[in-house]
Each structure stands twice: as C-alpha cells, then as structure tokens.
Structure 1
Amino acid sequence: MTTTDTTAMTTATHPSIAAALTDLLFTPGLDLTEAVDRHFAPDYRQRTDGRWDDRAEFTSHIAHLRTIVADGSIQVLDELVQGDRYADRHLVDITKTDGSTVRMEVYVFAEFTPDGRFRRIEETTLMLDGTDSDRNIGSAR
C-alpha cells in the first residue's frame, strides 16, 4: 500500500482514480466522451453504494455532475495495484456551482483491462461534509 496525493500521480503506470476523476470532473475543457474513453473500457460497469450502472448510465451521472461541480480535488490516501486489480481509499473535495462544498471519503475496488482502462469499479462512499441532499452525489443524475 502507498500513501500519496494527486501530485504524486503524474506518471502513473497503472489506472488511477485520481487521474480519471480529474479528467472527468475537474478539467472542464476536456470533452466528456474523450475523458470516459481515456479511462473506461467499452464494457465498463460501476457499483456505487449498491447500485450498478453500465457505461452509459455512468456517463450520464458524470454529465450531471459536470453541471453542479465548479471545482475540486482528489487526495489518494491508500492505493494498491496487483495484476489487473486496483484498490484505493481517497478523499474528494467538491465546490459546487452554488458555492456549497462536499467532502466524501471513497473506498474503491476495481479491475482494469490490459490497455490500462477500468473495466469495473465497486465503491462505497461516506459523506464527511455536506448537506443531506448531497448524500447521493456519488450516483446523482
């Protein structure tokens, strides 16, 4: 296990949640389709807090988040890569377009493809700061 933050992930040789979330949510000039294609396989599936989504549903979720997220950051606390498996624990700090903030701790278990994209992610989120209406931000549409 390693402890790191997004600044240490500049030359990752494996898939990285920090790189994916930065492209998806915090790089507004990057086209959503390009960002998804860069990090997620065509058969991608994700389970967040018990709810399964296919790649199209996941992309819809990210499209929604892009309308409410103004800025943010990811801090990877723990990360483990073994073969085609990936696990991490990270913090996501979000500033929404209305000025409010949300802080989530996320636990991830994943599988990636030989070309370095995520095939499957299963995650559990824990809201540390935010309002009751932000509790479902990990799967909001």
Structure 2
Amino acid sequence: MIRQLNKSEAMIFLNGMYRDIVIGMDDTCIDQYFVPEYVQVTDGVCSDLAEFKHHIRMLRQELQSVQISPFTHYVYDEPLQTATLRYTVDVEKKNGKRGQVELIAIFELQGEKILRCYELSCPLDQKAEFKEIASLS
C-alpha cells in the first residue's frame, strides 16, 4: 500500500524538493522526488521525467541563482493527494540580468513522490526573456 502524506508532511516534502532541485539546480536527486512516469505540463508544454531533468540542467547553465518566496498560497487535498501552490521565483541569469516569475503549480503525489505537475508561469516585470524560465529546455 502506498503511504499517503498529510498536509504538513506534503509541505515538508515539497519544500525539500524545491530546495534541492529548483534552488540547488541539482538534477542528480530528481529520482528521489519523482516517479519514473512523471509528467509535467508547464504553460501548455508537456514533458516527461527525462525532459524535466534536461530542464534543470539547462537552468544550471543559464542561471546564476534561483530564490523562491515562501508559498503565498498552499492548499492540500489529502484524499486526492494534491497540493496547489502559488509563489514567486527570483532569478539571476549568468549575464547579470534579474527577473521575477510568479508560478501556480498543482502537484499530484503518489506516496512520497511526485506523479504529475501542472504549472502556469507569469513574468512579473514583463521582461520577455524571463517568460521561458519555467519551461527552458
């Protein structure tokens, strides 16, 4: 039987994933957080686990740093094992340019791993070059 996470466990799990993979831009620990059948849809673009790993490697090549605000919204549906988050990402590119992107993400969990993620992104400073950050490949 697959263990279900409660609201606080899911928050701790997701914070760890963001710390290790998004902020740390570490693709080596992705399998610790995601199922092999992982599917992500970001701004209408669908990708699998291999494409997500490539996305993280591309972020590491393009970005100097990534910081994530505390979640401004966090809703967890325990029976469905889904977490809905809203947060802001501050990015600095290696060329020194900075920008902010707001994200809304819905995660479907399967045990202590992520099965699916649906994500919408919006650059807050209207710089077109930051629109692709969420789906850089």
CA gap 1:66/1:22 in 2 versus in 1, 3 angstroms: same
Q: CA RMSD in A?
A: 1.6
Q: Which residue of 1 aligns with 2:63?
A: 69
3-state secondary structure, aligned to 1:98: coil
Instruction: Give the whole-Å Cα distance in 1 for the aligned partners of 2:60 and 2:96.
Output: 14
The correspondence for 1:19, drawn from 16, 20, 25, is 16
Does the 8 A contact of 2:123 with 2:131 survive in 1? Answer: yes
Aligned to 1:92, the other structure's residue is in SS state strand
Determine which structure has the larger helix proportion and give its number. 2
Give 1:58's aligned residue: 52
3-state SS, counterpart of residue 46 of structure 2? strand
Supply the distance in 1 between the matched residues of 2:36 and 2:86 (Cα, whole angstroms): 25
Matched residue count: 125
Percent of aligned positions that are identical: 26
TM-score by length of 2: 0.83
What residue identity is the alignment partner of 1:48? T
Unmatched segments (≥5 aa) in structure 1: 1-11
| Structure 1 letter corresponding to 2:16 | A
Residue 41 (structure 2) aligns with = 47
Alignment partners' CA distance in 1, 2:129 and 2:66: 18
Q: Is the 8 A contact 1:25 1:69 kept in 2?
A: no
Q: Give the TM-score taking structure 1 as reference length.
A: 0.81
**Aligned CA distance change for structure 1 residues 109 and 53 (closer, same or farther; 3 Å):** same
- Compare 131-140 and 82-91 and name the one that shifted more: 131-140
Give secondary structure in 2 for the equivalent of 1:65: helix
Match for residue 128 of structure 1? 124
**Aligned counterparts of 1:128 and 1:97: Cα–Cα separation in 2:** 19
Distance 2:108 2:34 in 1: 11
- Residue deviations 1:68-95, cap 9 Å, x none? 1111211111111122111010111111
Q: How does 1:54-133 map to 2 (within 5 A)?
A: 54-75=48-69, 76-83=71-78, 84-114=81-111, 116-129=112-125, 131-133=127-129
Q: 1:22 aligns to what SS in structure 2?
A: helix
